[in-house]
Structure 1
Amino acid sequence: MEILDWIQNWFKDNCDGDWEQGEGIQITTLENPGWEIEIDISNTSIANITIDGILNEKSKKDWYGVKIENQRFTASGDAGKLKFLLELFREMIEKIEN
């Protein structure tokens, strides 16, 4: 399944009348340039997971970082990493749910 279809379905599956009223999913751009994704994972299957920050920096144009803390998945990466970051989130969800 295409990542945008998957994240859309994941969002719909987690909407409960309350969760989506908070921050839900935020995708923003960074000035360096790059992407940042923040996903509220409270009341989801991975709500109690914590991952210390992981940073993979090959160069100023090839990097990403990811962490889960305080019931929030946060990932950022260079301008070409949006799809990759969303796929990382999907991998985490699928590993825990399976």
Structure 2
Amino acid sequence: MMNADNTLLKRLQDWYASMCNDDWEHTYGIFISNIDNPGWSFKVELQDTYLEDVQFKKIQIQRQDENDWIICMVDKNCFQGYGGPCNLNDLLETFLDWAEETWNEI
């Protein structure tokens, strides 16, 4: 059974695999961790990828529930996303939509 969560993970795995070139994966990567707000941190190192010099407009969303929020930006050649405890999917989807849209424009 494939649901939206599995699709996002598959998309992330596919993006990661497409960046692996016997070099990038030895130096750079993708990092998911928890933060104490509570919430999530999601980081993708963009050095030596097609996203390295692509502009990304910062996203900051706070919904009515104080734990329902995301912040996404590119800083120091890294996509960085932070979100509430139930917003990891939002972070992954934001990155993947940007990455895939950019790829389709190349």
Q: Do they fold alike, i.e. is TM over 0.5?
A: yes
Matched, 1:62 2:71: no
Could you tell me how far apart the structure 1 residues matched to 2:74 and 2:88 are?
17
The normalised TM-score by structure 2 is 0.83
How far apart are residue 60 of structure 1 and its match?
A: 2.1
Pick from 15, 25, 28 the counterpart of residue 20 of structure 1.
Answer: 25
Query: 5+ unaligned residues in a row in structure 1: which ranges?
Result: none
Could you tell me how far apart the structure 2 residues matched to 1:29 and 1:23 are?
20
Amino acid at match of 1:91: D
- Answer with 44-53 or 66-75: which moved more: 44-53
Could you tell me how far apart the structure 2 residues matched to 1:36 and 1:62 are?
14
How far apart are residue 5 of structure 1 and its match?
A: 0.8
User: Which has a greater percent of helix?
Assistant: 2
Q: What value does the CA root-mean-square deviation take over the aligned residues?
A: 1.6
Matched, 1:53 2:68: no
SS of 1:80's equivalent in the other structure is: coil
Task: Figure out how many residues of one structure are paired with residues of the other and give that number.
Answer: 98
The normalised TM-score by structure 1 is 0.89
- Equivalence for 1:38: 43
Amino acid at match of 1:4: L
How far apart are residue 52 of structure 1 and its match?
A: 5.0
User: Which has a greater percent of strand?
Assistant: 1
How far apart are residue 84 of structure 1 and its match?
A: 1.3
Q: Percent identity between the aligned chains? A: 28
Query: 5+ unaligned residues in a row in structure 2: which ranges?
Result: 1-5
Could you tell me how far apart the structure 1 residues matched to 2:35 and 2:27 are?
22
Which of structure 1's runs of 4+ aligned residues deviate more than 6 A? none
1:43-98 C-alpha deviation (Å, 9 max, x unpaired):
21211023353321224211110001222100010011111110111110121111
